[in-house]
């Protein structure tokens, strides 16, 4: 008989490979799941938790966060990982790059990334990893070392950074990117990033399916022109203006360009991030038909699934790509329900009030882009997904199994023997109202303020450590950096 050091009794276990939950107990030994079966003995077990018939979801693998973008990385690692635990997130994958924001410096990743690891070490309440953005030729040369030395297997391209400002107006991009004066951040650079990542896949064939490129798909030239048009017309304000300034066909065009570059470079592992509109997902579907040899994965955020330009609470909902009109929200749900969308993330980027808003406060083009939301990821998906007929198993696939599989987190994503004991207990019948004041995030507002959710994460376990108990974060930080492939061996 397996000796357990933790048993979670009386839960309904949810996994990606079954639509509905299965009643069982979960036995944990050494931070990993040892047994999933009904009627586990608890005599002599050091810790026994009564699940009270709640749902037990695999801990959420939130594959898109931005720790350190607006606040010091060490601070965000602490506070935003606490907020993550509130949403059932047990593994957070945060984007990181050189240039302005984040550490506000350029240079080689050989020097830069150890600083990232040092700033975050020992401060996270959930496990974490990083996606890195190759911003220069030198960064492309460093890709094999990043894979082999640091276990970084995912890389990001921001398709608009070379010619359009982060927050809506064009800016001095050379200064912003902090790249060598004789280099350009453009389509040619994106091609060479893809070639560099494909070369790494060939060098490490055992990791090939888990080494990928993710793309933020918006087109700078379209956005610059439309931003000027929207501002000069002066007919739209707030989130409606921002959505119009970054129109959906800008996403679609960028998706098409990225897809052809993947075809040209022979790189099959492509992730299309935070698709926000029908046109964006339609372009992604068309490209998958045009290039069936490319293993496209399609991502949507919980923000784009829950809020639109009229229901979001003020211009705190400014984000890239923008929140869209309700018809696009409904289109995204169609794609979630028919299986087109591969995973759902928070795109959590804590931006405090004093930095978020400009003067005048109501000018959306002066506000910073991005907001938090990891706290609402699993509750939001269950609330809205179940209302629309989405199965519990599909929710588990979208929030845990699928991103874990793509990004080389082999020990994450399922409640099954051998996997990390990352578990989110959920009361699916608890109705509550979102209030920013209740979040562990240091962000003082949320675009979801006043939203009513009908499911709540009550307890979160990270490798068997309870980090959330009855809705409250407890204990010291236990999160670890996940060097990939992170396995079950």
Could you please report the per-residue DSSP string of 300-315? EEHHHHH--TTTSSGG
Q: Is the peptide bond before 485 cis (omega within 30 degrees of 0)?
A: yes
Mean pLDDT of all residues in 388-406: 98
Residue pair 73/130 in contact by the 8 Å Cβ criterion:
no
Per-residue pLDDT, 171? 59
Angle at 288 between CA 285 and CA 293, to 5 degrees: 170
373 closest CA partner among 430, 302, 455, 267: 302
pLDDT per residue as tens digits for the range 88-114: 999 999 999 999 999 999 999 999 999
* Banded model confidence at residue 280, pLDDT cuts 50, 70, 90: very high
High-pLDDT (> 90) share of the chain, %:
94
Sheet of strand 212-216: strand arrangement = 60-65, 89-96, 127-132, 154-158, 212-216, 269-272, 295-301, 343-345
pLDDT confidence bin for 390, thresholds 50/70/90? very high
Closest CA to 423 of 384, 396, 393, 402: 396
Indicate if the pLDDT at residue 167 is higher than 80.
no
Residue 27 has φ and ψ, to the nearest 5°, of: -100, 130
What is the pLDDT averaged over residues 248-254?
98
**Distance (Å, whole) CA 449 – CA 303:** 12
What percent of the chain is modeled with pLDDT above 70? 98
Q: Distance between CA 125 and CA 465 in Å, rounded? A: 10
pLDDT in tens, 117-155: 999 999 999 999 999 999 999 999 999 999 999 999 999
- Tell me the C-alpha distance between 16 and 123, whole Å: 30
Helices (H), 69-209: 73-86, 109-120, 137-150, 173-177, 187-203
Q: Quote the Cα angle for 474-443-86, to 5°.
A: 30
Within 215-312, residue ranges assigned H as helices are 220-233, 238-245, 248-265, 278-290, 302-306
What structural domains and CATH numbers belong to the chain?
6-473 (3.20.20.140)
DSSP state of 208: G
89-96 and 127-132 as β-strands: parallel, antiparallel, unpaired?
parallel
Structure-token pair, residue 426: 């959920």
Please say whether the dihedral angle defined by the alpha carbons of residues 333, 334, 336 and 337, taken in this order, is positive or negative: positive
Sign of CA dihedral 148, 156, 195, 268: positive
248-265 vs 220-233: helix crossing angle, rounded to 10: 170
Q: How many angstroms separate the Cα of 212 from the Cα of each of 108, 256, 262?
A: 20, 18, 11
> What is the β-pairing status of strands 22-29 and 32-37?
antiparallel
Q: List 23's β-bridge partners, or say none.
A: 12
When pLDDT is cut at 50, 70 and 90, the band that residue 473 belongs to is very high
Pull the structure tokens for residue 364: 């959306």
Q: Specify whether the CB–CB gap between 423 and 412 falls below 8 A.
A: no
Integer CA distances (angstroms), 274 to 64, 89, 121, 260, 335, in order: 9, 18, 28, 19, 13
Cα–chain center distance at 330: 21
Its sign, for the CA torsion 120, 124, 129, 133, is negative
Cα separation, 62 vs 353, whole angstroms: 24
Neighbours of 405 (CB within 10 A): 21
pLDDT bucket at 173, cuts 50 / 70 / 90: low
**Which tens digits make up the pLDDT trace of 298-338?**
999 999 999 999 999 999 999 999 999 999 999 999 999 99
Q: How far is CA 147 from CA 107, 144, 236, 486, in A?
A: 18, 5, 46, 12
d(CA 277, CA 322): 9
Asked if 446 and 316 count as a contact pair (C-beta separation under 8 A), the reply is: yes
Angle at which helices 278-290 and 326-337 cross, to 10°: 40
**pLDDT of the residue at 160:** 87
Q: Using CA of residue 319, residue 101, residue 473, residue 301, what is the dihedral sign?
A: positive
pTM, 2 dp: 0.97
């Amino acid at each position: 008989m397996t000796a357990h050091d933790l048993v979670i009794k009386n839960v309904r276990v949810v996994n990606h490979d079954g639509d509905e939950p299965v009643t069982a107990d979960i036995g944990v030994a050494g931070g990993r799941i040892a047994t999933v079966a009904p009627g586990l003995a608890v005599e002599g077990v050091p810790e026994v938790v009564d699940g009270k018939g709640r749902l037990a979801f695999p801990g959420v693998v939130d594959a898109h966060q931005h720790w350190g973008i607006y606040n010091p990385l060490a601070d965000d690692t602490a506070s935003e990982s606490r907020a993550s635990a509130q949403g059932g997130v047990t593994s957070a994958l945060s984007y990181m790059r050189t240039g302005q924001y984040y550490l506000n410096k350029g240079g080689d990743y050989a020097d830069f990334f150890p600083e990232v690891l040092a700033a975050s070490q020992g401060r996270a309440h959930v496990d974490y990893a990083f996606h890195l953005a190759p911003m220069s030729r030198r960064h492309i040369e460093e890709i094999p070392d990043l894979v082999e030395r640091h276990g970084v297997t995912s890389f990001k391209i921001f398709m608009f950074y070379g010619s359009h400002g982060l927050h809506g107006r064009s800016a001095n991009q050379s200064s912003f990117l902090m790249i060598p004066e004789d280099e350009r951040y453009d389509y040619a650079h994106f091609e060479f990033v893809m070639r560099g990542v494909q070369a790494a896949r060939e060098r490490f064939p055992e990791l090939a399916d888990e080494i990928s490129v993710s793309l933020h798909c918006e087109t700078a030239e379209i956005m610059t022109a439309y931003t000027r048009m929207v501002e000069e017309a002066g007919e739209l304000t707030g989130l409606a203006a921002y959505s119009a300034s970054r129109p959906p066909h800008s996403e679609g065009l960028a998706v098409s360009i990225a897809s052809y570059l993947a075809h040209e470079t022979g790189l099959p592992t492509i992730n299309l991030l935070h698709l926000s509109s029908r046109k964006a997902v339609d372009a992604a579907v068309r490209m998958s038909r045009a290039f069936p040899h490319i293993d496209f994965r399609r991502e949507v955020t919980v923000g784009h699934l829950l809020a639109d330009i009229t229901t979001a609470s003020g211009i705190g909902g400014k984000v890239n790509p923008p929140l869209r009109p309700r018809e696009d929200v409904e289109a995204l749900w169609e794609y979630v329900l028919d299986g087109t969308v591969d995973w759902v993330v928070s795109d959590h980027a804590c931006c405090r009030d004093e930095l978020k808003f400009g003067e005048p406060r109501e000018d959306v083009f002066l506000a910073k882009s991005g907001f938090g939301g990891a706290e609402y990821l699993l509750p939001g998906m269950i609330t809205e997904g179940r209302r629309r007929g989405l199965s519990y198993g599909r929710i588990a696939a979208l929030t845990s199994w699928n991103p874990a599989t793509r990004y080389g987190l082999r020990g994450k994503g399922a409640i099954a023997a051998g996997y990390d004991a990352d578990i989110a207990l959920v009361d699916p019948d608890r109705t509550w109202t979102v209030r920013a004041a209740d979040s562990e995030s240091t962000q003082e507002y949320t675009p979801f303020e006043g939203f009513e959710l009908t499911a709540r994460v009550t307890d979160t376990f990270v490798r068997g450590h309870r980090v959330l108990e009855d809705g409250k974060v407890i204990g010291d930080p236990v999160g670890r950096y996940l060097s990939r492939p992170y396995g079950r061996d």
